[in-house]
């Protein structure tokens, strides 16, 4: 099937954590908008990553599967080099891979849990972005970081470790925007509220799900495609005067009270 849109026509895009959920919707959306090559990173969900690749190819783009744990410095670096080897360049980087690992109150929180969430959500963005910038500097481009409403709220039950990483990522987004503007690289973020993905199947018990729904004005979970729509806007020329900004995709969560 031919590409349906043309907002990122011919561009080469790398999406971390694209085997499912928001990352998959972003990868497929980029392909639909004319990306020539879409890099699909994952760390363990091979079958789901292959499914994303099929969906990307069905939209007319070339899919490149990239197995790498973004929290591992060497693997992150190799992943970017592998993508450059396959695609020749990188125009768009979407730092989406993220995890909660486990809900836990701060009292007694295992140090390994704290460190693992920081390693994936923050170190991972640092490793991948640092490696990608070397190539992106040559021709400019766009970086979008997926933060979270948790960056402002401190997170739902048992997720202070996760919220802290997303707060850090929000700040990193602004710092990178300042540093990389000179190279024609815009850096923005999308901060989702509750989005219906495998993330919640794993980490959110049913009773918390209902309270998330009630915390939104729109009284429902969002879809991965609704987050992808904001990412697509930020990587397209439609947002050419926007950098260092965050788009909140949260069903009006801030305005419930
Ligand atoms: P998800 O359904 O749990 O999917 C997470 C993706 O990240 C998977 O593709 C997973 O692949 C990948 N991943 C996890 N650890 C990785 C690692 N170390 N290296 C490489 N890839 C890794 O999550 P989601 O709901 O789509 O969330 C995507 C992003 O949005 C995350 O950053 C999350 O924090 C953020 N977010 C989500 C929500 C929400 O309500 N869903 C709200 C706010 C923000 P493997 O299984 O192969 O590891």
- Give the model confidence (pLDDT) of 15-71 as tens digits: 999 999 999 999 999 999 999 999 999 999 999 999 999 999 999 999 999 999 999
Distance, CA of 3 to chain centre: 22
- 206's enclosing H/E stretch is helix 206-214
Q: Please tell me if the CB atom of residue 125 comes closer than 6 angstroms to any atom of ligand 1.
A: no
Pocket test for ligand 1, best of 14, 16, 17, 165 (most atoms within 8 A of CB): 17
- In the Cβ-directed half-sphere of 3, how many Cα atoms lie within 13 Å? 20
| Average pLDDT over all residues of the chain | 96
**Position 233 pLDDT exceeds 70:** yes
Tens of pLDDT, residues 91-147:
999 999 999 999 999 999 999 999 999 999 999 999 999 999 999 999 999 999 999
Whether 241 is catalytic is no
Task: Output the pLDDT for position 207.
Answer: 84
Distance, CA of 136 to chain centre: 18
Pocket test for ligand 1, best of 152, 165, 199, 226 (most atoms within 8 A of CB): 199
Percentage of the chain lying above the pLDDT 90 cut: 91
Provide DSSP, 45-87. -HHHHHHHHHHHHHTT-EEEEEE--TTSHHHHHHHHHHHHHHH
Task: Output the pLDDT for position 3.
Answer: 46
**How far, CA to CA in Å, does 245 sit from each of 169, 175, 248?**
12, 11, 10
Q: What are phi and psi of 20, to 5 degrees?
A: -160, 180
Percentage of the chain lying above the pLDDT 70 cut: 98
Pocket test for ligand 1, best of 15, 19, 21, 193 (most atoms within 8 A of CB): 21
Q: Is the dihedral of CA 39, 44, 47, 48 positive or negative?
A: negative
Task: Output the pLDDT for position 255.
Answer: 81
What span, in angstroms and rounded, lies between the C-alpha atoms of 66 and 13?
12
The rounded Å distance from CA 125 to ligand 1 centre is 13
- 214's enclosing H/E stretch is helix 206-214
**How far, CA to CA in Å, does 12 sit from each of 39, 88, 95, 139, 248?**
8, 8, 14, 12, 25
For the CA of 195, the nearest atom of ligand 1:
40
The rounded Å distance from CA 97 to ligand 1 centre is 5
Through-space distance between the first and last CA atoms of the chain, rounded to whole angstroms: 46
Q: Please tell me if the CB atom of residue 45 comes closer than 6 angstroms to any atom of ligand 1.
A: yes
What span, in angstroms and rounded, lies between the C-alpha atoms of 155 and 165?
10
Q: Strands 37-42 and 92-95, how do they pair?
A: unpaired
* Low-confidence winner among 99-108, 129-138, 204-213, 242-251 (lowest mean pLDDT): 204-213
**Position 1 pLDDT exceeds 50:** no
For the CA of 198, the nearest atom of ligand 1:
2
Task: Output the pLDDT for position 2.
Answer: 43
pLDDT (average), residues 63-87: 98
Task: Output the pLDDT for position 257.
Answer: 56
* Phi-psi region at 99: left, alpha or beta (left = phi > 0; alpha = psi -120 to 50): beta
> What are 16's strand-pairing partners?
none
Q: Please tell me if the CB atom of residue 43 comes closer than 6 angstroms to any atom of ligand 1.
A: yes
Predicted TM-score (pTM) above 0.95: yes
**Position 256 pLDDT exceeds 80:** no
The rounded Å distance from CA 22 to ligand 1 centre is 7
What span, in angstroms and rounded, lies between the C-alpha atoms of 132 and 84?
9
């Amino acid at each position: 099937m031919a590409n349906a849109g043309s907002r990122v026509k011919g561009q080469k895009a790398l999406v971390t954590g694209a085997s499912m959920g928001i990352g998959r919707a972003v990868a497929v959306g980029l392909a639909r908008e004319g990306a020539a090559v879409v890099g699909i990173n994952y760390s363990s969900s091979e079958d789901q990553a292959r499914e994303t690749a099929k969906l990307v190819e069905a939209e007319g783009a070339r899919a490149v599967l990239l197995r790498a744990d973004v929290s591992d410095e060497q693997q992150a670096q190799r992943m970017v080099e592998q993508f450059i080897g396959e695609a020749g360049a990188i125009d768009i980087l979407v730092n989406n891979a993220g995890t909660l690992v486990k809900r836990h109150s701060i009292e007694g929180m295992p140090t390994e849990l704290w460190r693992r969430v920081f390693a994936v959500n923050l170190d991972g963005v640092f490793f991948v972005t640092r490696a990608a910038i070397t190539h992106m500097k040559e021709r400019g481009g766009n970086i979008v970081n997926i933060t979270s409403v948790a960056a402002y709220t401190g997170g739902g039950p048992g997720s202070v470790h996760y919220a802290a990483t997303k707060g850090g990522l929000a700040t990193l987004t602004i710092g990178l925007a300042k540093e990389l503007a000179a190279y024609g690289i815009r850096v923005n973020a999308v901060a989702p509220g509750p989005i219906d993905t495998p993330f919640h199947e794993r980490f959110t018990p049913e009773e918390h799900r209902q309270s998330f729904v009630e915390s939104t004005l729109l009284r429902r979970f969002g879809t991965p495609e609704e987050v992808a729509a904001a990412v697509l806007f930020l990587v397209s020329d439609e947002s050419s005067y926007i950098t260092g900004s965050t788009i909140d995709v949260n069903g009006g969560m801030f305005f419930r009270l």
